[in-house]
Structure 1
Amino acid sequence: MKSVKNIVILFLLVPLVIIVSCDDGLVEVNENPNGVEASVVDPNLLISSVMTGLATSTTSRGYSGDTGAASQYIQKDSWSSNRYDWETGTIWSSNYALLRTNKVAYDRAVELGLPFHEGVTLILKSMLFGNLTDYYGDIPYSEALQAGDLEGERPAYDTQETVYKGIIADLETASSLLGGSNYEGVVAKQDVFYGGDASKWQKLANSLALRYYMRLSEKLPAFAEAGVTSTLAKPLISDIEDELVLSYVGGIESQSWPSSGQFGSASDFYRVKPCTTLTDKLKELDDPRISVWFAPVAVPTKVVPAAEVPGGGDMAEEDGIRYISEESLDANDYAIYSQATYAADLQAGKKLIDTSSVYVGLPVAVSAVDPYEYNLNAEGSRGGTNDYVSRMNEVFNQKEDGGNLLKARLFSYAELSFLKAEAAIRGWGSDAEGNYLEGIKASLEVWGVGDTFSDYITNEGVAFDGTLEQVMEQKWIANMFNGDEAYLDWRRTGLPDLKAGPFAREDVMPLRFIYPEDEINTNTTNYIEAASSLEETPYSTTDPNDSPYARPWIVQGVPTPW
């Protein structure tokens, strides 16, 4: 396989040839700011821009954005309460802009008779529309990219069911287009994902179809089962070399890991903290990935008898350790952090002390305001450091080439393996244990701890027990920094059992983004119809129909996630 690392950053130097603003709706005519007519532009130039836009936005959301926090991989300790105050999200305008660029590339591919480019653009289209319908529900789809063909009308919304089925159909068409061996017009360096390898794109198309069939497993189980069983017989991602990834090589901001802090405020990096939901689980399972993702706490805390506190007071630091007198806990309304009791302790007005000796996370929605004072942080300044909570591993404060670790992972071999394991547990495939173990092995390998596999899979809680809960838990861990898939798996299955936290906006986690204001104002009639398809819940009554807590079609009539 051609090393993506060697070509990836070319995308950032390729101009975005077709850029469209969606702020004024979805029917604006494509304008080319670089002076090259859409009718003659090389589709190779366009698809690289679409690929990189998709990859970087997905990683930004999944690392330090909405879905990284929703999946409880991270929490932020300044300028964010982590309360799940979801609004419009960040993908509506950017995805539709990328879709319009992709449409020009697709049209040129058809015009020039380039089946490779046609297949690739269908896959990119599917992923971009998939993001949109996953998070919003009904969306402009069949009419969204028709530009002037609507004669001044605004694009109608298609139902979420129509969009999902259209995505799957496009992926199956793409798989057929990419099944050959010789393709004209391919510029390998512009294909920043697979270097022009059609066989890998075909595997991706089939693997994405499997993902979307499984996305419908609770809502349309018969349809999903038929699709899963047929797709499992097709070429799929079969090893780490087939993964859909994009490397961050550093050097300039646009080539660096999101929130690295190297090109803006250092607080961009400091603000992102590990979430206790994940750190507690990794410690419970003795998972070696914890040391790859997170840094040991700078100053660990010990609660000891008063006589053991240096200097004889209630609290003191000595030799890099903070000591707190156990006799002072009640008097100061302190409580020692416990996963089982922390929410009740906080609601009772207690201040938490985390005595984890190595990795200290930030609990979900731990504060009604910015949680920078967590674990008795004496500094107490927004955007500052907190020596009593772990940071992300320094590799994510990217100062140089991050190697294998710093990659946008849009579809991993681990995810594919866990999808196959889930299918087997549902009776739609085979070898649940083998695929479960393969998923764990793949994840450990990409994070550089593959040599721990044999020991790790014998750990209590990891050794295969045949349950969907265990498969989804390991898939959640393996999807680190792909918050989209982790969150959407939770919404689909309720697994793992993520809680909103004691100071969250509602007692449950949200189900969707709300439609953006510009779309509401410019496409009002169609928006109202789409919003009316959302199902009210006890948690959406303070909003109009268009609420983060309203049920879109995919979770209507199903018991999950709440």
Structure 2
Amino acid sequence: MTSINKLLKLMFVMCLLSTSSCDNDITDINSNPNGLNLDEANPSFLLTDVMANTAMDVGNKGYSDPLSAFVQYTQKDAWGNNNYDWAGSGWESYYNNLRTAKLALKRSKELEFKFHEAVATILIAHNFALLADFYGDVPYTEALQGDGEILLPKYDSQESVYKGVIADFEAASAMLSSNMGNLEVFGTTQDIFFQGDAEKWMKYANSLALRYYMRLSEKDPGFAGTGVQATLAKPLIASVDEECAIPYLGTGPSDSQPSNGQQGSPSSFTRVKPSATFTYKLAELEDPRRSIWFDAVEIPIKVVPASEVPGGADDTVVDGVRYLNEETLAPNGLKIFDPATWYADRKAGLSLIDTNSVYVGIPVSYQGSEPYTYNLNPNPVQGGGNPHVSLMNPMFDAVKGPYLKARVFSYAEICFLKAEAALKGWGSDAEGNYKKGVEASFETWGIGDQFADYISNPGVAFDGSLEQIMEQKWIANFSSASEAYLDWRRTGLPDLKTGPFAKSTAIPVRFVYPTSNSTLNRENYYSALNSLETTSHTDDVPGYIENDTPWSKPWVLQGVSKPW
């Protein structure tokens, strides 16, 4: 895939409105010599901008954003939020993206560019879908009408947005399918998703439709089941080579691997640590992806009898290992970390020691403040580092690399969606698709040759359960935390729990509307609040406007037992 933002520097500025000088394959219309003229905007470059922004949003939310902590891939030991009190973000960026996409759609229709029109339709639908995913009801049918028409748009129901975007995905796919072989050129460098390949765009639209039919599978199974069965008969993303995974360009913070240490402060990288939930699950399954994602701990800790501590000391570092006298633990309020009891141990006031000799993660919501003291850190200051907790794999410290991508839609996801649909009776071959999903994840991270051994491991060999499918999908979605979060919200799987110092005993299920909505579009905003269902957790954290909280349920969760 072409790198994110490749044309969004000099070329975007020079060519956005000058179609004749920069893309003769598109149009010969001259640009306005007196300044920018949106009526002559080049849809190719407008769509490049929308694709880049969409991919960066997925990438940023996927790796180091608090969503990664929500689904327990990572925890930050400093300058982070591990305690589930994050209200969410993205509203303005989504609507800014949609305004650009709307202009691209308008220009595509004016120029009778069916390929560009279909792409614009897909990108508009995807951005509206993300808004509905995270917020609930959002301005939709009256949105993007700020040119003197509708300045204060109503909030459409989450249901109508979901079903509307599915219809748009299907319409765009049909437009491409019916015009295949007779479409205008979409330059390979402008199309950073699929390099001008209309067939891949058609498969992508169908795959998005499948994702959102499944998003509704618990709330509206009749609608979802019919749609899933029809969509499974259409062309879908069919290999890792066809997935939408955009490499980072690495020229600056806006197009680089999130939280790398090369753009800005080195601590951007070092403060992101693995979550203990994730490291212990990967260890349990003997999963080789852990060595791809995490770095071995610099100085492991061993708790041994007094007679085995080198030099007779109670606490000493010898040959790169820290030895502790086991008799000193209880008197000092210390206990070895146990995945089965750690929550209760921590609530009881104990400090925990992880004696894992390879990959050590931070337990979720381990303390009320940032956990840079975890695991007896000898230098317990913010940003000071911790030799007893693993860093992420050094490749994530770079701005770009062969495996550093914004994974907008993976082939693994399609396989797991098919496996889940089969369990529901809407498709077939749950086991075959489950295995393909695991294999696709291994392939995308460069360890496809290790799949055959892994798939027969205890806990990995297919047992026919939804729990296992969703667990492996969760693992495969590492660096794609937004989709993992929305899967967890839909199914309650894997069974993630907040930590002992979380703001609530329940993981949030939505983002909070920007505060400005309560004043700038007050009437419609308060009308939207009426559609949110209050829960026993709505008032867990004070300071929100009425029931506009992260724990109020939007339509898709109302009357549904999951995730809580």
User: Is TM > 0.5 for Structure 1 vs Structure 2?
Assistant: yes
Mapped contact 1:81–1:369 kept (Cα < 8 A)? no
Structure 1: distance between partners of 2:212 and 2:301: 46
Equivalent of 1:552 in 548, 551, 554: 554
- Number of the residue aligned with 1:434: 432
Structure 2: distance between partners of 1:395 and 1:328: 38
Percent identical pairs in the alignment equals 54
- Specify whether residues 439 and 522 from structure 1 end up closer, same or farther in structure 2 by C-alpha distance, changes over 3 A only: same
Instruction: In structure 1, give the amino acid aligned to 2:561.
Output: P
Mapped contact 2:5–2:255 kept (Cα < 8 A)? no
TM-superposed CA distance for 1:11, in Å, is: 4.1
**Aligned with 2:331: secondary structure?**
coil
Instruction: In structure 2, give the amino acid aligned to 1:10.
Output: L
TM-superposed CA distance for 1:4, in Å, is: 2.8
- Residues 463-519 of structure 1 show CA distances to partners (whole Å, capped at 9, x for unaligned) of 000110000000011111111110000000000001111110000100101100122
Question: Are 2:515 and 1:517 aligned?
Answer: yes
- Residues 118-175 of structure 1 show CA distances to partners (whole Å, capped at 9, x for unaligned) of 1101111111111111010000011111122435x40000000000001001000110
Mapped contact 1:8–1:247 kept (Cα < 8 A)? no
Structure 1: distance between partners of 2:120 and 2:415: 25
- Number of the residue aligned with 1:532: 530
Of residues 424-433 and 512-521 in structure 1, the stretch that sits farther from structure 2 once superposed is: 512-521
Equivalent of 1:483 in 481, 491, 504: 481
Mapped contact 1:270–1:384 kept (Cα < 8 A)? no
Written as runs of structure 1 = structure 2, the 5 A alignment for 1:184-195 is: 184-195=184-195
Structure 2: distance between partners of 1:553 and 1:425: 25
Structure 1: distance between partners of 2:194 and 2:268: 31
Unaligned runs of at least 5 residues, structure 2: 18-31
Mapped contact 2:56–2:255 kept (Cα < 8 A)? no
**Aligned with 1:174: secondary structure?**
helix
Mapped contact 1:237–1:243 kept (Cα < 8 A)? yes
TM-superposed CA distance for 1:39, in Å, is: 0.9
Unaligned runs of at least 5 residues, structure 1: 19-31
- Number of the residue aligned with 1:22: none
- Number of the residue aligned with 2:98: 99
- Residues 262-315 of structure 1 show CA distances to partners (whole Å, capped at 9, x for unaligned) of 121111101100111111111000001000000000000100011222232221
- Number of the residue aligned with 1:86: 86
Mapped contact 1:138–1:158 kept (Cα < 8 A)? yes
**RMSD, aligned CA:** 1.6
TM-superposed CA distance for 1:384, in Å, is: 2.0
- Number of the residue aligned with 2:12: 15
**Aligned with 1:324: secondary structure?**
strand
Instruction: In structure 2, give the amino acid aligned to 1:84.
Output: Y
Structure 2: distance between partners of 1:8 and 1:539: 41
Structure 1: distance between partners of 2:42 and 2:126: 22
Instruction: In structure 2, give the amino acid aligned to 1:263.
Output: Q
- Residues 441-472 of structure 1 show CA distances to partners (whole Å, capped at 9, x for unaligned) of 11001101111111100000000001100000
**Aligned with 1:279: secondary structure?**
helix
Instruction: In structure 2, give the amino acid aligned to 1:15.
Output: F
**Aligned with 2:516: secondary structure?**
helix
Mapped contact 2:229–2:427 kept (Cα < 8 A)? yes
Mapped contact 1:299–1:388 kept (Cα < 8 A)? yes
**Aligned with 1:455: secondary structure?**
helix
**Aligned with 1:10: secondary structure?**
coil
Instruction: In structure 1, give the amino acid aligned to 2:140.
Output: Y
**Aligned with 1:316: secondary structure?**
strand
Of residues 119-128 and 99-108 in structure 1, the stretch that sits farther from structure 2 once superposed is: 119-128
Written as runs of structure 1 = structure 2, the 5 A alignment for 1:249-260 is: 249-260=249-260
Mapped contact 1:11–1:192 kept (Cα < 8 A)? no
Structure 1: distance between partners of 2:268 and 2:371: 15
Question: Are 2:455 and 1:457 aligned?
Answer: yes
Instruction: In structure 1, give the amino acid aligned to 2:548.
Output: D
Mapped contact 1:120–1:201 kept (Cα < 8 A)? yes
- Number of the residue aligned with 1:158: 156
Written as runs of structure 1 = structure 2, the 5 A alignment for 1:46-57 is: 46-57=46-57
- Specify whether residues 81 and 210 from structure 1 end up closer, same or farther in structure 2 by C-alpha distance, changes over 3 A only: closer
Instruction: In structure 1, give the amino acid aligned to 2:492.
Output: G
- Number of the residue aligned with 2:77: 77
Of residues 71-80 and 96-105 in structure 1, the stretch that sits farther from structure 2 once superposed is: 71-80
Mapped contact 1:276–1:363 kept (Cα < 8 A)? yes
Written as runs of structure 1 = structure 2, the 5 A alignment for 1:36-435 is: 36-87=36-87, 89-150=88-149, 153-179=151-177, 180-398=180-398, 401-403=400-402, 405-435=403-433
**Aligned with 1:213: secondary structure?**
helix
- Number of the residue aligned with 2:23: none
- Residues 195-238 of structure 1 show CA distances to partners (whole Å, capped at 9, x for unaligned) of 11000000000000000000000000000000000000001001
Mapped contact 1:9–1:248 kept (Cα < 8 A)? no
- Residues 78-115 of structure 1 show CA distances to partners (whole Å, capped at 9, x for unaligned) of 0224101121x221000100000000000000111011
**Aligned with 1:331: secondary structure?**
helix
TM-superposed CA distance for 1:14, in Å, is: 4.4
TM-superposed CA distance for 1:9, in Å, is: 2.7
Mapped contact 2:2–2:189 kept (Cα < 8 A)? no
- Residues 375-424 of structure 1 show CA distances to partners (whole Å, capped at 9, x for unaligned) of 0101011112111000000000005x401x10110100000000000000
Number of matched residues? 541
Mapped contact 2:310–2:323 kept (Cα < 8 A)? yes
Mapped contact 2:314–2:324 kept (Cα < 8 A)? yes
**Aligned with 1:409: secondary structure?**
strand
Mapped contact 2:118–2:173 kept (Cα < 8 A)? yes
Structure 2: distance between partners of 1:294 and 1:13: 36
TM-superposed CA distance for 1:13, in Å, is: 4.8
Instruction: In structure 2, give the amino acid aligned to 1:113.
Output: E
- Number of the residue aligned with 1:561: 563
- Specify whether residues 93 and 14 from structure 1 end up closer, same or farther in structure 2 by C-alpha distance, changes over 3 A only: farther
Mapped contact 1:259–1:269 kept (Cα < 8 A)? yes
Of residues 198-207 and 335-344 in structure 1, the stretch that sits farther from structure 2 once superposed is: 335-344
